[in-house]
Amino acid sequence: MQVSVETTQGLERRVKVTVPADNVDKKVTEQLRRLSKTQRIDGFRPGKVPVKVIEKRYGAAVRQDVANEVMQQNFYQAVIQEKLTPAGAPQIEIDNLKAGEDFSFTATFEVYPEVTVEGLDKLEVEAVSASVEDADLDNMLETLQKQHGEWKDVKRMPKKGDKVTINFVGSIDGEEFEGGKAEGFDLELGSNSMIPGFEKGIIGQKRDEEFDLEVTFPEDYQAENLKGKDAVFKVTITNVQGLTLPEINEEFTKLFGVEEGGVDALKAEVRKNMERELTNAVKNTNKQAAISAVVDAVEVELPKALIDQEVEALRQQALQRFGGDASKAPELPAALFEENATRRVKTGLILSEIVKANEIKADDEKVDALIADMASAYEDPTEVINYYKGNEEMLNNIRNVAVEEQAVDFVLEQAQITEVTKSFDDIMNKQG
Q: Tell me what pLDDT residue 57 has.
A: 82
Could you state, in chain order, the average pLDDT of each consecutive group of 10 residues for the chain (432 residues)? 94 96 91 80 72 81 92 95 94 93 96 94 95 96 94 95 96 93 95 94 95 95 92 97 95 91 94 93 94 94 95 88 61 88 96 95 94 88 92 94 95 95 92 56
Q: Tell me what pLDDT residue 424 has.
A: 96
The DSSP secondary structure of 295-358, one letter per residue, reads HHH---PPPHHHHHHHHHHHHHHHHHHH-S-GGGSPPPPGGGTHHHHHHHHHHHHHHHHHHHHT
Q: Tell me what pLDDT residue 34 has.
A: 83
Q: Find residue 103's DSSP bridge partners.
A: 19
Q: Report the phi/psi class of residue 119: left, alpha or beta, with left for phi > 0 and alpha for psi in -120 to 50.
A: left
Q: Tell me what pLDDT residue 330 has.
A: 64
| CA dist., res. 335 & res. 287, Å (int) | 27
Q: Tell me what pLDDT residue 54 has.
A: 75
Residue count of the chain, please give it: 432
Phi and psi angles of residue 108, each rounded to the nearest 5 degrees, phi first: -115, 130
- 237 by Cβ neighbours in 10 Å (0-12 / 13-18 / 19+) ranks as buried
Q: Tell me what pLDDT residue 71 has.
A: 95
CA 309, 315, 320, 321: dihedral to nearest 10 degrees? 130
Q: Tell me what pLDDT residue 323 has.
A: 65
pTM: 0.74
Q: Tell me what pLDDT residue 377 has.
A: 80
